[in-house]
A and B are shown apart, each in its own frame.
Chain A
Amino acid sequence: MSENKFSVKKHFFSSLFDQNPILVQLLGTCPTLAVSTTVVNGIGMGLSATAVLVLSNLLISLLRKFIPKQVRIAAYIVIISGFVTAVELLIKAFLPSLDKSLGLFIPLIVVNCIILARAEAFASKNGPVVSMIDGLFMGVGFTFALGILGLIREVLGSGSVLGYTIPGFKPILFFALPAGAFLTLGCLIAAVNYILALSKNKKGGSK
Chain B
Amino acid sequence: MSLGAIIGMLISSILIENYVFSRFLGICPFLGLSEKPSTAFGMGCAVTFVMTLSTAITWALYHFVLIPTGLEYLKTIAFILVIASLVQLIEMFLKKSVPALYAALGIYLPLITTNCAILGAAILCIQNEYNFIESVTFSFGSAVGWTMAIIIFAGVRARIVFAETPKCFKGTPIALVTACLIAMAFAGFQGVKLPF
Which residues in A have some Cβ–Cβ distance to B below 8 Å?
26-31, 33-34, 73-74, 77-78, 81-82, 84-85, 88-89, 104, 107-108, 110-113, 116, 177-183, 185-187, 189-191, 193-194, 197
Quick one: closest B residue to A33, CB to CB? B24
A111 to B112, CA, bound (A): 10
**Known pairs A107-B119, A179-B183, A182-B179; A81 contacts B77 (CB<8 A):** yes
**Known pairs A30-B24, A104-B123, A108-B120; A183 contacts B76 (CB<8 A):** no
Number of interface residues of B (CB under 8 A): 43
22 contacts between A and B (CB under 8 A): A28-B28, A30-B26, A77-B84, A77-B113, A78-B81, A82-B77, A89-B73, A108-B119, A110-B76, A110-B80, A111-B115, A112-B116, A113-B28, A179-B21, A181-B180, A185-B176, A186-B169, A187-B173, A190-B166, A190-B169, A193-B169, A197-B168
Q: Which residues of A lie under 8 Å from residue B23 when comparing CB positions?
A: 34
Quick one: closest B residue to A180, CB to CB? B180
A73 to B113, CA, bound (A): 10
* Cβ of B38 under 8 Å from chain A: no
Contact of A179 with B187 in the complex, beta carbons under 8 Å: yes
Q: Mark B12-36, 1 if CB is under 8 A from A, else 0.
A: 0000000001111111100100000
Choose among B24, B124, B166, B184 the residue that contacts A34 (Cβ–Cβ < 8 A). B24
Contact of B176 with A178 in the complex, beta carbons under 8 Å: no
Q: Which residues of A lie under 8 Å from residue B170 when comparing CB positions?
A: 193
Quick one: closest B residue to A80, CB to CB? B80
Choose among A30, A104, A179, A183 the residue that contacts B127 (Cβ–Cβ < 8 A). A104
Q: Which residues of A lie under 8 Å from residue B131 when comparing CB positions?
A: none
* Cβ of B177 under 8 Å from chain A: yes
Q: Please give the distance in Å from B79's CB to the nearest CB on chain A.
A: 8
Quick one: closest B residue to A116, CB to CB? B114
Q: Please give the distance in Å from A59's CB to the nearest CB on chain B.
A: 14
Nearest 3 A-B pairs (CB), nearest first? A186-B176, A182-B180, A34-B24
* Cβ of B159 under 8 Å from chain A: no
Q: Which residues of A lie under 8 Å from residue B81 when comparing CB positions?
A: 74, 77-78
**B21, B77, B116: most-surrounded residue (chain A CB, <10 A):** B116
Choose among B77, B127, B172 the residue that contacts A78 (Cβ–Cβ < 8 A). B77
Quick one: closest B residue to A190, CB to CB? B173
Quick one: closest B residue to A35, CB to CB? B24
* Cβ of B156 under 8 Å from chain A: no
Contact of B176 with A111 in the complex, beta carbons under 8 Å: no
**Known pairs A185-B176, A190-B169, A193-B168; A85 contacts B77 (CB<8 A):** yes
Q: Which residues of B lie under 8 Å from residue A74 when comparing CB positions?
A: 81, 84
**A29, A178, A183: most-surrounded residue (chain B CB, <10 A):** A178
Q: Mark B132-150, 1 if CB is under 8 A from A, else 0.
A: 0000000000000000000
